[in-house]
A = this chain, B = another copy of it.
Amino acid sequence: MTRTLHLAVAAYGVGGPGQHGLWKDPRVPSNASIDVRHYIRQAKLAEAALFDAYFIVDSQFITADYPSHYLNRLEPLTLLSAVATHTSHVGLVATASSTYNSPFNLARRLASLDQISGGRAAWNVVTSFDTGTSRNYGLAEHLDYATRYGRALEAVEVVRGLWDSYEADAFPASVADNTFLDPTKLHALEHHGEHFDVAGPLNVSRSPQGQPVIFQAGVSEEGRDLAARVAEGIYAPGGSVEQAQAYYRDIKARAAGYGRDPDHVVIFTGAAPVVASTDAEALRRSREIYDEDDDFDRKLGFLGRSFGAHDFSTHDLDAPFPDVAHLAEKGGRTAGQAIVERAAAQGLTLRQVVQTLTEYRPSPFTGAPGTVADAIETWYRDEAADGLNLNFRTLEEFERFTGDVVPLLQERGLFRTEYTSGTLRGHLGLPVPENRYTASRSRGDR
């Protein structure tokens, strides 16, 4: 397979104050987070720029001082099916929790989106690290890390099994023979595993891409392992180019270790480009965005998210960083552990931790269009990423990227100049998975 650059845009809601000040954009309604027209407009912009995918992040737990773009949001799958009928090519990635959904229901909703979009759906599998989510689902305590990831792996297996319920030719729909269904092409999964018992069959047939694409965003050991086993697209954390390269090598090697083709795991690194007419102007704007969100109390509150919504305002800001290592497990673990380790190694106070964590660092994709295109080319060629999952402060900044940077990437032969497929699998160079029962029959199995 010829390696090609991939681009996605991550749709955050609008909110504020916080890192997503889109609600202050005079071109965007202040309630755009719940206005489907806002998302349709974003997705159409992404499609006009030939992007691979439109990506919906999600959270199922909020508090009044939670990241504000999550405060008032449309549920991703409900949202994307509305977006689907107003677009024709761009992939549609819905974040959904494997911890707080039943595989049967989720398989059905994703398969429905895949049919409605003509084969453009993807499931971004998350395990919901926010402890508070558990209390919205009847659990006083969050499931532990190992259970969440074990459950996620099994959920993906069940969902994929259900997506094979119907073989491709299950519905002859022959009026002459009065035959709608060929019952030998309908299969019950009868999955009985550690976390789930699901009989099937699912009542939705396969789409033009066979099955929705599986995305994941593994960072921890368990997350990387899950990604290497099942993910076909990855929303990667970013950081420096060296950090991204190390992540890239690790994931591709793990995938190969599971007998998978590393090209079939497409790594999208998260990035927030700031493009302007000159590098200096872009840096000025980048700093302006930082300053607009620079609120110590908000950042202190946000720090708690890595420790199970722990309230850090009860601690002395100028005392050594408190002993919260045991809470990292409740907040996704990896982020919290890294903070604890750094605080210990450098002897930081709580105030210094917040300042260090949130100090101004311009995105590597900040500058004039040529500078940003250079950076993208470097990241891509040096195997720090197969593509980028972008997010933008304003619609105008999104349009500047698609208008000024994308053409440069196309001129350099890095990015497509037209869609050559109508499905997300097609855009990502992923094969259509063969139906397991058809495959079994063609191998002469019973």
Chain A residues near B (Cβ < 8 Å): 15-17, 23-24, 30-31, 34-36, 40, 59-60, 62, 64-65, 68, 70-75, 77-79, 81-82, 84-86, 100-102, 104-105, 108-109, 111-113, 115-116, 132, 135-138, 140, 166, 171, 173, 175, 178, 180-181, 183, 186, 196-201, 203-205
Contact = CB atoms under 8 A, between A and B. Distances in A.
A104 B61 CA distance: 10
Contact of A196 (B23, B78, B81, B138): B138
Nearest to A64: B183
A204 B34 contact: yes
B201 A62 contact: yes
B112 A105 contact: no
Contacts of A81: 36, 78-79, 81-82
17 contacts: A15-B181, A31-B173, A62-B203, A68-B180, A68-B181, A72-B205, A74-B112, A74-B116, A75-B112, A77-B78, A81-B82, A82-B85, A82-B116, A100-B104, A137-B198, A138-B196, A138-B197
Given A34-B204, A81-B82, A105 B116 contact: no
B138 A203 contact: no
Contacts of A138: 102, 196-198
Nearest to A111: B75
A17 B116 contact: no
Nearest to A170: B72
Oligomeric state, in copies? 2
A84 B79 CA distance: 11
Contact of A74 (B71, B78, B115): B115
Given A102-B137, A201-B62, A75 B31 contact: no
B78 A36 contact: no
A228 to B, nearest CB: 27
A203 B73 contact: yes
Q: Does more than half of chain A's interface fall in helix, strand or loop, or is it mixed?
A: loop
Contact of A23 (B75, B180, B186, B201): B180
B23 A173 contact: yes
Given A23-B180, A34-B204, A79-B112, 19 more contacts: A15-B180, A16-B178, A17-B178, A17-B180, A30-B173, A34-B115, A36-B115, A60-B105, A64-B186, A68-B180, A68-B181, A71-B186, A71-B203, A73-B204, A75-B105, A77-B109, A81-B81, A101-B105, A135-B198
B79 A82 contact: no
A201 B180 CA distance: 46
Contacts of A186: 62, 64, 71
B203 A60 contact: yes
A180 B66 CA distance: 12
A23 B174 CA distance: 9
Contact of A203 (B70, B140, B183): B70
A281 B78 CA distance: 44
B181 A71 contact: yes
A36 B116 contact: yes
Given A16-B178, A64-B186, A203-B59, A197 B100 contact: no
A199 B34 contact: no
A395 B113 CA distance: 25
B203 A104 contact: no
Nearest to A174: B30
Contact of A72 (B71, B136, B203): B203
Contacts of A59: 203
Contacts of A136: 104, 198-200
Contacts of A31: 171, 173, 205
